[in-house]
A and B are shown apart, each in its own frame.
Chain A
Amino acid sequence: MTLTRRALLSTAMTLALFSATQVQADSADGDALNKMTWDQVVELAKGGTVNWFMWGGADNINQYVSDYVGGILKDEYGITLNRVGLTDTVEAVNIVLGEKESGVMDKGSVDMIWINGENYRTMKQGGLAYCGYTGLLPNNALINWDNPAIANDFGVPVDGCEVPWSKAQFAFAHDSAKTPNPPKSIPELIGWIKANPGQFTYPAPPDFNGAVFVRHVFYHVAGGSQNLLGEFDQARYDEVATKTWALLNELEPFLWREGQTYPNSIAQMNELFANAEVALNFNYEPSQFGLAVQAGTYPETTRSYGLADGTIGNTNYTIIPFNSPNKAAALVLQNVLLSGEAQYEKARPEVWGTSAAIEISRTSPEIQAQFASIVTPVSVVSAEELGKNALPELQAGWISAIEQGWIANVAQK
């Protein structure tokens, strides 16, 4: 190639590169986006990238996001999805926080976070979220914002700062071959633990699943979740907490390893259950049990169930940080996630098996038929079954207090 042709080629490439980055830089301005039409947003996002930070501990979810969702983004919108796996969602929140502290206002490294609960509260209170855009998304019409369980994230109003993605409800699991009659309520569980020493444990908070288990015990001691709704009440908390810690400490000698240590994470607990070191397991995502049986990790005789006195459920969301430079692409991604097709795909047990966050009745007849045709594996308790006894999550103030309280009063004693 002659020198001049080379120079021309490299100039052309540089210009192309420059214009490509120009497209990306422009969608950092959230206010400007709010005034556009959806078609303009899609056009703006074309050719760009979106960096989605999410918990990466389940490879089935990773595959769904990277392959299925990423494929749609690439093929239909020309957007590259970069999934960033985290061990804990708080890592992403810390990144955004650190960037805000250092004055990084429009070149943030995070475009979207899979989030709910305390992490959402941190972002909302810290002014870290991009808000007020949800009306822009066509699939926003599929969301039932009148449902308080969706309009509030652990008691904190969503206020247009995030968009639902999935629903989850806590369930227990047992090996029906080894433990044919598991306890089906918290009081029954307490009696069962004492009668079967060394067969039960729970991951130490702040592990997500361990923490929600402790909340179930807290609800039981309080005489029901209805007594705990609303803003954090120190007096009420102290009253219930003292009795809860006493109960959990009383149970300690009957737990695995006599309660001298607790599993660090739900993954460790899964391992214990898989190897029959403990007889019961639980998870906020019961579909995980089905997947584990499919992968051969759990025995085929694994079955899951809810509790007679109800189990806690939540909605989880996706949020866009205030300083994301790729907001347009993030909006397109959120719209795809909310679509009937994507929600159906992740409801399929072979893929993820998790409940839809949209109103299925608002989707097209074809999609509704597809949802109706889903067959839950025998090892997984169905979402409707669980949904009959759903308990709400408390406001984030209660949750951090209970977490800290457990660490101070049960772990450290």
Chain B
Amino acid sequence: MGPDPFAMRAFRILTGVLLIVWLVLPLVPLAIWSFARGWRFPDLLPQEWSLKAWSYALSDTSGVVDSLGLTIGISLGVTVLSILVGVPAGRALGLYQFRGKQAVELMILAPTIVPGIAVALGIHSVFIALGLTNTIPGVMLVHLVPTLPYMVLVMAGIFANFDPSYEAQARSLGAGPVQTFWYITLPAILPGIIVGGMFAFLVSWSQYILTLLIGGGRVVTLPLLLFNFAASGRNDITGAIGMIYILPGLLILLVTARHLSGQNGAAGGFGRL
């Protein structure tokens, strides 16, 4: 394709700038609020600044720090579980053709089509009977419902591009199954694991209604805390918690960013629906 004419370039730059502003914009008032002592209409910036919101958020009473640890723990746990369950399932769907495959695919992807609330109310009564409500394992289990489809989808995409003959070669040369997996399969599917794991973490990280219903208000993850403060109008504390809440996601992004650029088949796995 030839070089951009000037108008086209200007358009691209303008759109780019707008896009940048648009993507960052909603986070700005949250950040400002966290440092404000009251911020009323029509002030563009707070008349008085204060660190009270942050000191409350980081204190023991507010439970924010505990909640942060809890949410990280749950999301990590869910990610690990999703990987352990999703990788084999992705292998099955990516490498093999078999009767009933479409039905299986549909079943595994069903949670992305059926809204969480529809299932959550029913799961709640099942979990009460199983004694899993108000427990951390219960919350982790229920998080698997929305995260598993993404993990399987990504892994199926990766495995579809994976050539199992390399594994066969390694086995024929005398490598054990563990060695084969570690040296042959794993490096090839690692980008998928990272992208799928990231999606799984983020889906679990931002879960609200599932945690609220199954956790029964006893498992207080950060989104619950944030929602409570936002709904009760404490904007300054909401701002502080909001900033804390987006931090881990940001860190994970910095670590895994290059895998999202599209050079591998991972993100493209989404085209398989």
Whether A and B touch directly in their complex, counting CB atoms under 8 A apart, is answered as: yes
Give the interface of A toward B (CB within 8 A).
51, 53, 56-59, 62-63, 66-67, 84-87, 91-92, 95, 98-99, 101-102, 104, 109, 265, 267-268, 270-271, 274-277, 295-299
Contact assessment for B232 and A57 in the assembled complex, using a CB-CB cutoff below 8 Å: yes
Whether B129 contacts A102 by the Cβ 8 Å rule is yes
B61 to A66, Cβ gap below 8 A? yes
Q: Bound state CA distance, A63 and B237, in angstroms? A: 14
- B interface residues (Cβ-Cβ under 8 A, vs A): 36-38, 40-41, 48, 50, 52, 56, 60-62, 125, 128-129, 131, 133-134, 216-218, 220, 227-229, 231-237
Shortest Cβ-Cβ A-B pairs, 8 listed = A296-B38, A57-B232, A267-B233, A275-B41, A296-B37, A267-B232, A102-B128, A66-B61
User: Which B residues touch A95, using CB under 8 A?
Assistant: 134, 216-217
User: Would you give the shortest CB distance from B55 to chain A, in whole angstroms?
Assistant: 12
Contact B40–A109 (Cβ < 8 Å): no
> In the complex, are the beta carbons of B234 and A59 less than 8 A apart?
yes
- Whether A67 and B61, one on each chain, are in contact in the complex, defined by CB atoms closer than 8 angstroms, is yes
Taken together as a complex, chains A and B put the C-alpha atoms of A295 and B216 apart, in Å, by 31
Pair A85/B220 contact, Cβ less than 8 Å = yes
B interface: dominant SS: loop
Taking a contact as CB atoms closer than 8 A, the residue among A59, A102, A270 that contacts B56 in the complex is A59
Contact between chains at B38 and A297 (CB < 8 Å): yes
Find chain B residues with CB under 8 A from A51 CB: 218
Q: Given contacts A66-B61, A295-B37, is CB(A87)–CB(B231) below 8 Å?
A: yes
Q: A59-B237, A99-B128, A109-B218 are in contact. Are A87 and B228 (CB under 8 A)?
A: yes
- Chain A residue with the shortest CB-CB distance to B216: A95
Query: Which listed residue (A57, A63, A99, A295) contacts B38, Cβ 8 A?
Result: A295
- CA–CA, A374 to B131, complex, Å? 48
Extra inter-chain contacts (10) besides given A95-B217, A98-B125, CB under 8 Å: A59-B62, A59-B229, A66-B61, A84-B218, A268-B233, A274-B233, A295-B37, A295-B38, A296-B37, A297-B233
A56 touches B228 (CB 8 A): yes
Identify the closest chain A residue to B233 (Cβ).
A267
> How far apart are the CA atoms of A53 and B236 in the complex, in Å?
24
Cα A277 to Cα B42 in complex, Å, equals 11
Closest residue of chain A to B41 (Cβ to Cβ) is A275
Contacts known (A63-B61, A109-B134, A295-B37); A91 close to B231, Cβ less than 8 A: no
What residues of A have a CB within 8 angstroms of the CB of B216 in the complex? 91, 95, 109
Question: For residue A271, which residues in chain B have a CB less than 8 angstroms away from its CB?
Answer: 233, 235
Most A CB contacts (10 A, CB to CB) among B48, B233, B234 go to: B233
Known: A56-B228, A85-B217. A299 touches B129 (CB 8 A): no
Contact A85 B128, beta carbon cutoff 8 Å? no
CB distance from B209 to the nearest CB of A (A): 12
Alpha-carbon distance between A59 and B236 when the two chains are bound, in angstroms: 12
Contact in complex: A58, B40 (CB < 8 Å): no
Residues of B within 8 A of A296 (CB): 36-38, 48, 50
Residues of A within 8 A of B40 (CB): 274-276, 297, 299
Q: Which of A53, A265, A270, A274 contacts B217 (CB 8 A)?
A: A53
Residues of chain B with a CB closer than 8 A to A91's CB: 216-217
CB distance from A52 to the nearest CB of B (A): 12
Residues on B with C-beta less than 8 A from A277 are 41
Q: In the complex, A57→B52 CA distance in Å?
A: 17
Q: Which residues of A contact B52 (CB under 8 A)?
A: 295
Nearest B residue to A94, CB-CB: B216
CB distance from A118 to the nearest CB of B (A): 19
Residues of A with C-beta under 8 A to B234: 59
| Bound: A87/B213 CA distance, A | 13
CB distance from A381 to the nearest CB of B (A): 21
Q: Shortest beta-carbon distance, A375 to chain B, in Å?
A: 23
**Bound CA span A275–B235, Å:** 13
What B residues does A53 contact at CB under 8 A? 217
Q: How far, in Å, is A238 (CB) from chain B's closest CB?
A: 34
Nearest chain A residue, comparing its CB with the CB of B52: A295
Complex formed: what's the CA distance from A274 to B220 in Å?
29
**Bound CA–CA A91/B227 (angstroms):** 15
| Whole-angstrom CA separation of A66 from B66 in the bound complex | 14
Show 11 A/B contacts (Cβ-Cβ < 8 Å), sorted by A: A57-B232, A58-B232, A59-B234, A102-B128, A277-B41, A295-B37, A295-B38, A296-B48, A296-B50, A297-B38, A297-B40
B217 touches A276 (CB 8 A): no
Bound form: Cα–Cα A267–B231 in Å: 6
Among B48, B131, B217, point to the contact of A84 (Cβ < 8 A). B217
Once bound together, how far apart are the Cα atoms of A268 and B236, in whole Å? 15
CA distance A102 to B133 in the complex (A): 12
Question: What residues of A have a CB within 8 angstroms of the CB of B233 in the complex?
Answer: 267-268, 270-271, 274, 297
In-complex Cβ contact of B61 among A62, A84, A276, A298 (8 A) = A62
User: Which B residues are in CB contact (< 8 Å) with A270?
Assistant: 233
Known A-B contacts A86-B217, A295-B37; A57 and B128 likewise in contact (beta carbons under 8 Å): no
